[in-house]
Amino acid sequence: MPPTLYRDTGYSLNHLIEDIKVGRIGLPDIQRPFVWSAAKTRDLFDSMYRGYPIGTLMFWETGAEVGTRQIGMESAGRSPQLLIVDGQQRLTSLFAVLTGRPVLTKSFEQRRIRIAFRPEDQTFEVTDAAIERDAHFIPDITTLWSSGYKTTVRQFFDRLDQAADESLSDAYKDDLEERIDRVRDLREFRFQVVELGASANEEQVAEIFVRINSEGVQLNQSDFILTLMSVHWEKGRRQLEDFSRAAVDPTVTGPSPRNPFLDPSPDQLLRVAVAVAFRRARLQHVYNILRGKDLETGRVSAERRQQQFERLAAAQEKALDLTSWHEFLKCVATAGFRSRKMITSDNALLFSYSLWLIGRHDFGLDASALRPIIARWFFMAHTTGRYTSSPESQLESDLGRIAGLATSDGPAFVAELDRIVTANFTGDYWDISLPNRLDTSSSRSPVLFAYLAALNILDAEVLFSDLRVKDLLDPSGSAPRSVERDRLFHRKHLESLGISGTRQINAIANMAYVEWPPAERNNADAPRDYLPRIAEAIDPETLARQSRWHALPVGWEQLDYPTFLERRRQLIARVVRDAFNTLAGERKRYVATTAEDLIAAGESQTTEFKSSARWNPHTSQYDPKLGHILVKTVCGFLNAEGGVLLIGVEDDGQVLGIEGDLTTLGTKPNTDGYELFLRQLLDDNLSAPTASTVRIRFPQVEEKTICQVSVAASGRPIFAKPAKGGPSASDLWVRVGNATKQLHGDDLIKYQEEHWG
């Protein structure tokens, strides 16, 4: 029989309140935003009054010895012996009402929970102005547990007598007083409590919580680390919460973390501090580190725990420094982003901040030196969705790339980040992948925001206007009503051509920030009709400049609609590329990434190494199964952000070459035969031809020939045939972090909606 991880016990409400007051039970939520409504608190008291069950509480023994001081505290701040894992909102409600302590609302306003009781029909209500005036209510039951209990009862009967214009009978008063006493006696209400022992680990606690929690709420690793902070370093948790509060609370005066991009939460800020302190992104490892656990022996040491918390405290101080925070946010603004409406990935922002802090404190770079490289990094990470799938794995991979660099070697740090950026923003990305990703109507597409950011970087004007795009996107400003993101080929005109689908009409390539002249605001003419009228009133140089910024092809008004969309997507990609290049401090021609650069940067979400495509070194013969692995990888790149597959390179970057593969090609054992084999393999096993999305090259690296397969992102889903064969391509593979994953059912449908719109 397995050992029992818990014991059943019971507590009276009064006992719980006293243990919370003295700190034996940790109830940190009294200092945090209260998510329950006052009506739920009212219903809780009503259920207790009627003797209904109100659920089991779950506590977890912290393992802290009695009297243990918290990290960084002296005489005060003792560690609680029990933490509330399930039932925090119930106990917060009860504690606030019985003691009269205020709670914080979601808007960070302090407010008392005031519950009224009407003895005549034994009902509870949330106190309002009408109830305050109603003599039939005790307007605030908190007074029933105070030293003024008798005074409260006497005043209630005095008001009742006055309202009735006569004295109530003693028998009637006795009956009402008995009901009031029943409310007061709720302090003796018994709660069923499950106490988990200190030997239970966080995975077991999370599993137990999910199984007994009726609301289906799940605990995650950040919950456990924040809980651990409540035990050993409550001050540190308060700092995270105070920072988060100050970012959104309008009553906070003076310097604050308020910003136009993000309302940070404690768990998000915790991730930043953890990355800086431990170079970790997977929080399950960090939880054990902070417990003081030796990951090899499994032993827990209070001394080791103290050291690790001190390390976290030092990193958290850096992360919460307002100067650092706002200097980093300047990097985001430098990258062309103006508001949270342009941010589709909080992870891209927070993880970029982690790298900013590491560059500042570990590599000695000042804010001015960090601004361009972190701006480039954020632009790349946000545009490519670097931290969208498997964000923890990707961040740990990125942190690992800089782990071996010499401390204080700022140029090496910058060079390594630039190497990774360049490996993602390849020539094929700009020429093929980005135009394909722009083939959508999604108004929340990262590539759309990359284009808008580019217009901000280039200080572009609105089409047909002297206003700047960046002023329209500034959250502190207000755009004129005549300026909007509108269709260049009007809806009615397209419908007259038989084009009616929303995806086509609202395509990104058909939309632009434009200020129509008053006479043109309500017309539905074709571009070839309205453009000459508008052009007559605009300086030709201005129109040419705006046409370049807004990626309008030469003679665009004369093009058929599909051709216009295709050409404009290509030009939008060039505008984004040109704007990105200015983040390096100068406008420069794109320099293609070499195979050596890709190998040096290592495998990532956009780079994969395969030792061979045909020759199996273990069996010393041709192996057809290797071909299907290539098909999956290419399919995954097509359905994600694109990427590069290098064949003839080991996972660790060792260059093998493709000579073994060439020996299996029969009559054409050369690169031409190899390319023919790959083209045939992909076209036979994928749902669409790859001539326009896959490029194949054969660079020389270390005097060996390898195969470089450059894959562009597809503008629509691409399916692969199953490994066991079959007449149709039915498997959808997606690149997730450093792996290729197959999606099924709801996950497949959700991905299609989010990725392609």
Q: Are strands 190-196 and 123-126 parallel, antiparallel or unpaired?
A: unpaired
Residue 534, token pair as written in the block? 């508008």
Contact 608, 645 (CB under 8 A): yes
Q: Tell me phi and psi for residue 452, to 5 degrees.
A: -65, -40
What is the spatial distance between Cα 48 and Cα 115, in angstroms, rounded to a whole number?
Answer: 14
**CA-based end-to-end distance of the chain:** 53
State the maximum Cα–Cα separation within the chain, in Å, rounded to a whole number.
115
Contact 13, 191 (CB under 8 A): yes
CA of 52: how far to CAs of 97, 189, 668, in Å? 19, 11, 82
Is 297 buried (19+), middle (13-18) or exposed (0-12) by CB count in 10 A? exposed
Cα 310 versus chain centre, distance? 27
What is the spatial distance between Cα 182 and Cα 184, in angstroms, rounded to a whole number?
Answer: 5
DSSP label at residue 591: P
Residue recorded with tokens 């605030």: 140
What pLDDT is attached to residue 33? 59
DSSP label at residue 340: G
What pLDDT is attached to residue 68? 45
pLDDT digits (tens, 9 = 90+) for 43-56: 999 999 999 988 88
Q: Tell me phi and psi for residue 511, to 5 degrees.
A: -110, 145
- Helix (H) / strand (E) element for 697: namely strand 694-697
What is the spatial distance between Cα 515 and Cα 513, in angstroms, rounded to a whole number?
Answer: 7
User: What parts of the chain have a pLDDT lower than 70?
Assistant: 1-4, 28-35, 63-79, 106-108, 201-221, 223-224, 231, 295, 477-482, 585-592, 756-757
Residue recorded with tokens 């605001």: 521
Beta bridge partners of residue 162, listed in sequence order: none
What pLDDT is attached to residue 530? 94
What pLDDT is attached to residue 488? 96
Give the residue among 421, 403, 323 at the shortest CA–CA distance from 362. 403
Beta bridge partners of residue 645, listed in sequence order: 608, 709
pLDDT digits (tens, 9 = 90+) for 712-754: 878 789 999 998 777 788 899 998 877 889 998 888 888 887 7
Beta bridge partners of residue 468, listed in sequence order: 461
Contact 549, 458 (CB under 8 A): yes
Question: Does residue 666 sit in helix, strand or coil?
Answer: coil
What is the spatial distance between Cα 128 and Cα 132, in angstroms, rounded to a whole number?
Answer: 6
What pLDDT is attached to residue 480? 58
Give the residue among 18, 39, 9 at the shortest CA–CA distance from 187. 18
What pLDDT is attached to residue 411? 94
Give the residue among 737, 606, 615 at the shortest CA–CA distance from 677. 615
